[in-house]
Copies of this chain bind each other. A is one copy, B any other.
């Protein structure tokens, strides 16, 4: 990734172009929506589309524009409370559970808010000296990446919220993947050794604080599966009574599953004849050769145990992934819901893109971790408890937002993100 990205970032102009593009992409994602769709949020994890549109704008206003001009006047003072997500340093904010009461400001007003802030950023930064620009570059890059994260969130949330509507609306028409034959399981060996992971503090490339500092990790010899676990394989787990056997589950996982009455991944439904699942194109028959997705860590770990395997650590995963070119399906590459691997897929099939892969690593800061500066310390670090790392990006992740060192994280019970399973095994 390095060279390409460095070129892209080499001039201020290029970065401002990228800013304008990212802002536009977010808006384009909402083109298939009807006016009424912008407000819905049906679960405690999700947010309405209009809130995502506004929050990503607020981010630039507060962390960039307000820093550039001490006399900066916010577009609307009230938005500060409404569109702060969780930055306590910025004062109180609207509780997450109330984001779906915001019929006002209207979607139209929010688009105006977006445009105003986008233009103001271009104006302010365009008129800065190179030195001044250097100073703002970190926040601009972080803001861009923040917005790209919300592109993925916006789509994740939309799918989840559409699913709650018994009419099961479509985001776009289905497209067929063609035929795919499942391939036999293949394991590749990872030798033990002292490896380096993460991104160096002085690397000059953009990375989140949680990817830093680059440091050594000893990795024990192990095996890693060449393929993602498929729907077919997961169905075998279900049919073998996997959801009814407590010995496969962690204690917390079993309790949560039992309480929620899970019997399959999120979005799966069974009628007498067959399984189907909810996609961006509505309910469709389950594609058995596609990678399983929308499983929690609890389910991923239970599946692995059932197969006599385990989930990889994030370091094993990074060791394998950094050896492969960044090909694969990302946002804009056609499929929104995960599709089976193409024939051309290589050594570790679909390791980049398609689905985030659960690791067995709890999400904790790296050695010599330092939080983002400029009032952005709450971006990542305060979430380093009780969550697990997923790696590899998904079909909703913008490609230019992705790096193999990227550490995303979710609570082990969460399922609405596009997360799947790649197995690992100890060598005993």
Q: Please list the residues of chain A having a beta carbon within 8 angstroms of any beta carbon in chain B.
A: 34-40, 42, 78, 81-82, 86, 88-89, 94, 98, 100-107, 161, 164-167, 169, 194, 215-218, 220, 222, 246-247, 249-254, 297-298, 301, 360-362, 364, 367-369, 377-378, 381-386, 412, 426, 428
In the complex, the answer to whether B253 meets A42 with C-beta atoms within 8 Å is no
Q: A251-B86, A252-B386, A385-B252 are in contact. Are A101 and B368 (CB under 8 A)?
A: no
How distant is the Cα of A222 from the Cα of B217 in the complex, in angstroms? 15
In the complex, the answer to whether A367 meets B103 with C-beta atoms within 8 Å is no
In the complex, the answer to whether B36 meets A106 with C-beta atoms within 8 Å is yes
How distant is the Cα of A306 from the Cα of B250 in the complex, in angstroms? 34
In the complex, the answer to whether A253 meets B104 with C-beta atoms within 8 Å is no
Q: Can you give 25 contacting A-B residue pairs, CB < 8 Å?
A: A34-B104, A35-B36, A36-B39, A36-B104, A37-B103, A39-B103, A82-B166, A82-B167, A89-B246, A89-B247, A94-B166, A98-B164, A102-B165, A103-B161, A104-B167, A105-B167, A218-B218, A220-B368, A222-B367, A250-B385, A297-B385, A301-B385, A360-B364, A362-B364, A368-B426
In the complex, the answer to whether A384 meets B250 with C-beta atoms within 8 Å is yes
Contacts of A251 in B (CB 8 A): 86, 382-383, 385
Contacts of A369 in B (CB 8 A): 426
Contacts of A165 in B (CB 8 A): 101-104
Q: A216-B218, A216-B220, A367-B426 are in contact. Are A106 and B412 (CB under 8 A)?
A: no
Partner of A383 from B217, B250, B298 at Cβ < 8 Å: B250
Contacts of A169 in B (CB 8 A): 103-104
A161, A252, A378 — which one has the most chain B CB atoms within 10 A of its CB? A252
Contacts of A428 in B (CB 8 A): 368
Contacts of A368 in B (CB 8 A): 220, 426, 428
In the complex, the answer to whether A194 meets B218 with C-beta atoms within 8 Å is yes
Partner of A161 from B101, B246, B297, B385 at Cβ < 8 Å: B101
Give the nearest-CB partner of A367 in chain B.
Answer: B220
Give the nearest-CB partner of A222 in chain B.
Answer: B367
How distant is the Cα of A401 from the Cα of B38 in the complex, in angstroms? 37
Give the nearest-CB partner of A221 in chain B.
Answer: B367
Give the nearest-CB partner of A195 in chain B.
Answer: B218
How distant is the Cα of A119 from the Cα of B89 in the complex, in angstroms? 57
A36-B38, A42-B101, A361-B364 known; 6 new pairs, CB 8 Å cut-off, are A78-B167, A88-B246, A94-B166, A101-B164, A368-B428, A386-B412
How distant is A233 from chain B, measured CB to nearest CB, in Å?
23
How distant is the Cα of A378 from the Cα of B245 in the complex, in angstroms? 13
In the complex, the answer to whether A40 meets B88 with C-beta atoms within 8 Å is no
